Chains A and B, each alone.
Chain A
Amino acid sequence: MSSDVKSRPATPMLREILEQPTLLGGIRSTPLPVRLGLAVFALGFLVVNVAIGVLVVSGRLDGHWYDFRDLGNATAALRSWLDDRDLGPWLSYWVTALIGGVGILSFVGGVLLIGTWVERRLLAKFQIRRGPNRVGPFGLLQPLADALKLIQKEVLIPIGADRKLFFLPPILIFIPAMLGWGPVPWAPNMAYLDVNVGLLYVVAISSLAVLAIFIAGWSSNNHYALLGAMRTVAMMVSYEIPVSLSLLSVVLFTGSLQLSEIVAWQSTHNTWLAMILPFSLFTFFFSSTAEINRTPNDIAEAESEIVAGFHTEYSGMKAGLFLAVELGNALLVGALVSTFFLGGYSLFGLEEWIPPYLILFAKISAVYFLFVWLRGTLPRFRLDQLMGYAWKFLIPLSIAFVGISAVEASIFARVDAPGLIVLGAIGIVNVVLTFVLVRAWARVVGYEVPRGEDTRPTLTTAVGGLRAAQRLRVTP
């Protein structure tokens, strides 16, 4: 409302932003009954929470079916109850499998619905816009409106397309995005598919997505789609290696491929692997952004270069499915980063009071926010830069760090000292080593920005026609 703003021609948008009430003003302007009701609600919430806290501390909740901290208990109780009824071994199996599957599907589906809204609003904040705010309160119904719009659109099939293969990818690409959630532990007993090769399973499943993307790009019979698919395949092949190597360090420390074991290790040692293996965290995070086509590595669908990449020819809800899977993959990577490096559902003992799945969800949201932040901040890499970065920088350093963490893990297994001290020393050593090795290696393979050259654009007409252009080309 200051005078310098008024001196500018105020757009309606700017006026709207300026006239938005502050938080304090908002509270002051609410009527007294509403304020009283809110206060009573907050008090009741506090009382309920204290009661729950007392219940938890007294240990009356542990392991019963009404132990809301771990929904796996309720499922186990249901299974044993069904087994007692003697209705056949199949019923309890099917019922629990169905509960788990429906749980994962409903969680992912719900998050997909709200996720587009969150991403667009956050990006708008980064770009000093408002974002979608028209449909429903705060624009919350925007994803539904978008879905309705996409469903109504005509489904186009290019004439030259491979019709049989063209229909498959929007469905195929959903399968790895859903199956990847299987082994993620949400609480000690709350993992749908806690196989003892969980880590390998996740890597294997995520490598299947590349095939769906390739089928999409190839069957469209479109240059841009094929270029996008080829870029994806090349990138996936390159970035699988750093992902596997970074996870190898995790396995070396925790000594297990089972995701729940990895979380339990971090929980018992009161540490996050992110502190011990910072370079692995970075490698996994960066390579994952390449694998799931997020900015700054979304060269497979770089809209400024190749229209929309592999899903150029898809229209209507099929394109919507691709976008939804992209979002779901970002959340899945968030879950994996949290599980492998950020302690999963555990939070230094706090998981006894707060339901662990809420802790994991908070961590997933934090990583997802980081993804949106990157998307709002960083420009896109070039294809050759990205490939060179994988092969020349990430892979050699990852191999070096696998060796280092192998030595450290064997030291950790043999030294007879309090775990926290040894791990702290290892963590400090690793941070220093990361810094030194990255600097040294960057000096070896990195390229400097060439100086002393004229970087201003020179127009051919300005220097004298085609002859000048040829002269420029001869002297680089």
Chain B
Amino acid sequence: MESTGIIVAFWVLAAVTVAGALGVIVSRDLLHAIFFLILSFLGMAGLFITLSADFIAVAQVLIYAGAISVLLVFAVMLTPLVSRDNGNSLYVAPGALAGLGLAALVVFVAVDTEWAQLSGDALAARSFPDTVATIGDLLLGRYVLAFEVASILLLFALLGAIVLVHERRADAAAGAADTPANREEAA
């Protein structure tokens, strides 16, 4: 990590990531907050690239910036009117205290400790020439059980989401019968 390009890239991307995350806190509008969050995700993907994690970086863009943010946008659009503001709750003061305290602690420890880390030639040697093949081998070799469990988790999440928002016929009929217009008509 000696070359100037990497250092500049790290600082710029870190600034983008942190600025996006701060934007999530300060923006008044929930959709603006989501777009700041996407900015933060993209900066994070850039940081992953500086760590030579190309596969994870692309997966980050695909899953976070492409899928989860779209889901968030969808949730905001499906819950109209009440959900547009990004107000603070009662817990904002203790939350800010806890968050700031933890961040300060981690930053202090991270900067102050002598980590057993690679540097120089050893670091340059570990540049992961073929991440995809190795990750694939690990997923279907050493971590195959976790892989299967994750697939079952995804299946259950899919089923759970469908079951949660599925409107049964009786519910829909009851809900329809309860609208003010229907009540007036019945009267």
Contacts and interface: CB of A to CB of B under 8 A. Distances in A.
Instruction: State yes or no: do A and B touch (Cβ within 8 Å).
Output: yes
Give 10 nearest A-B pairs by CB, closest first.
Answer: A207-B66, A204-B62, A204-B61, A200-B58, A197-B58, A204-B58, A201-B58, A197-B55, A197-B54, A257-B132
Contacts of B32: 164-165
Given A165-B32, A215-B35, A196 B132 contact: yes
Interface in B67-91: 67, 69-70, 73-74, 77
Nearest to A164: B32
A211 B74 CA distance: 11
B90 to A, nearest CB: 29
B59 interface: yes
Contact of B61 (A205, A210, A237, A240): A205
B54 A210 contact: no
Contact of A203 (B5, B62, B69, B77): B62
Given A230-B77, A233-B70, A211 B54 contact: no
Contacts of B55: 197, 200
Q: Chain B: interface secondary structure?
A: helix
Interface string A186-212: 000000000111001101110110110
Contacts of A203: 62
A208 B61 contact: yes
A237 B130 contact: no
Interface of A: 90, 162, 164-165, 195-197, 200-201, 203-205, 207-208, 210-211, 214-215, 218, 230, 233, 236-237, 240, 257
Given A196-B132, A200-B62, A205-B61, A236 B35 contact: no
B24 interface: no
Given A165-B35, A233-B73, A211 B62 contact: no
A388 to B, nearest CB: 16
Contacts of A200: 55, 58-59, 62
Given A207-B67, A215-B35, 9 more contacts: A90-B5, A165-B35, A197-B132, A200-B55, A200-B62, A210-B66, A211-B65, A218-B31, A237-B67
Contacts of A237: 67, 70, 74
Question: Interface extent on B, as a size class?
Answer: 20 to 34
A150 to B, nearest CB: 27
Contacts of B65: 204, 207-208, 211
A90 B62 CA distance: 31
A195 B54 contact: yes
Interface in B115-151: 130-132
Nearest to A205: B61
A164 B74 CA distance: 21
B38 interface: yes
With a 10 A CB-CB cut-off, give which of B29, B32, B70 has the most chain A CB atoms: B70
Interface in B22-65: 29, 31-32, 35, 38, 54-55, 58-59, 61-62, 65
Contacts of A257: 132
Contacts of B61: 204-205, 207-208
A218 B30 CA distance: 12
B69 A211 contact: yes
A165 B32 CA distance: 8
Nearest to B42: A208
B74 A233 contact: yes
Nearest to A202: B58
A196 B54 contact: yes
Contacts of B77: 230, 233
A237 B66 CA distance: 9
B26 to A, nearest CB: 14
A10 B7 CA distance: 74
A74 B137 CA distance: 38
A26 B67 CA distance: 57
Nearest to B77: A230
B126 to A, nearest CB: 17
A350 B181 CA distance: 71
Contact of A214 (B67, B73, B132): B73
The CB with the most chain A CB atoms within 10 A, among B29, B55, B58, B131, is that of B58
A201 B55 CA distance: 9
Given A165-B32, A214-B73, A233-B74, A196 B62 contact: no
A236 B70 CA distance: 9
A207 B62 contact: yes
A360 to B, nearest CB: 23
A218 B70 CA distance: 13
Contacts of A162: 29
A116 to B, nearest CB: 29
12 contacts: A165-B32, A197-B131, A203-B62, A204-B66, A207-B61, A207-B67, A208-B61, A214-B73, A233-B73, A233-B77, A237-B67, A257-B132
A245 to B, nearest CB: 14
